[in-house]
Amino acid sequence: MTTPSLLPGTAYRGIFPVMPTTFTASGELDLPSQLRCADFMIDSGVDGLCILANFSEQFLIADAERELITRTVLGHVAGRVPVIVTTTHTSTRVCAERSRQAQDMGAAMLMVMPPYHGASFRFSEQQIFEFYAGLSDAVDIPIMVQDAPASGTVLSAAFLARMAREIEHLSYFKIETAGAASKLRELIRLGGDAVVGPWDGEEGITLLADLDAGATGAMTGGGFADGIRPIIEAHRVGDHDLAFTLYQRWLPLINYENRQAGFLAAKALMKEGGVIACEAPRHPWPALHPEVRRGLIDTARRLDPLVLRWGR
């Protein structure tokens, strides 16, 4: 498959939500639902997609399943939108192999957390630099650093900017740590043109502040891009009053996903709207509490997102 290409001087921007991984009630992959999920998300107005992220339950998926999901989704999307593939692994070699494979299947970009393992295995800045440099040497497509609390690794703005300047394909940064807006500003100041894509994350809970700080992309949950994209677009054209008003409107649902339901929010919304057949996570992850689910759906119904109508 041909990898989507960018014209010189252009960059990926806008909303690239994370696609959930769909399972049957017994925990098997549900590929028909996976493909319906892709179609729905494209219909909701995304600028691109991301697969196999933490919000995709990547930590509950076997290596052979990763390959199957990547090949199946990229083949089905067929270039309609660019797809970012998460290839995080502690090993430089394994991450590079995963990343080459994703590139060969048609990934537009790779998203990779810094190497870590468990609650206490961490690596020095030099080892992290060598990790990303080795990954860059193995591929020809952009790499996004996922700077997220889950890794337990502190990545300073100065260190991220240095990697952007010195590592060829490392040019996108999803900032999900506390004080994201301040970190984005400092990263942009220090990295200059080498920082091609300063992005917001965390389901958009800090979206408006991050856009004000210079974020050009957002990686959100997959359930309601039709509500979030207009915020980004209004801000991009300078209509900050409209962006604020739209953000106020959608913030209760964003908050419900970020603070209450987590990655099960998108699945619950998609099941409610007939997009997917089953919203269950894989064991041992617990199912969404019925009262949390009820609150999520009630909040969504007040906003009438496409997800609740797409499959009905």
Closest residue by Cα to residue 91 from 62, 117, 124, 65: 117
Among 174, 183, 267, 271, the active-site one is 174
Residues 6+ away with beta carbon under 8 Å from 78: none
Q: Cβ-count burial of 120 within 10 angstroms (0-12 exposed, 13-18 middle, 19+ buried)? A: exposed
Q: Detail the DSSP E strand segments found in the chain.
A: 14-15, 49-51, 83-86, 109-112, 143-147, 170-175, 197-200, 217-218
Judge whether 267 counts as a catalytic residue. Answer: no
Could you give the 3-state DSSP secondary structure of residue 86?
strand
Q: Give the pair of three-digit tokens for residue 251.
A: 């913030």
How far is C-alpha 134 from the chain's CA centre?
A: 23
* Type of residue at 22: T
Q: Which residues are catalytic?
A: 174
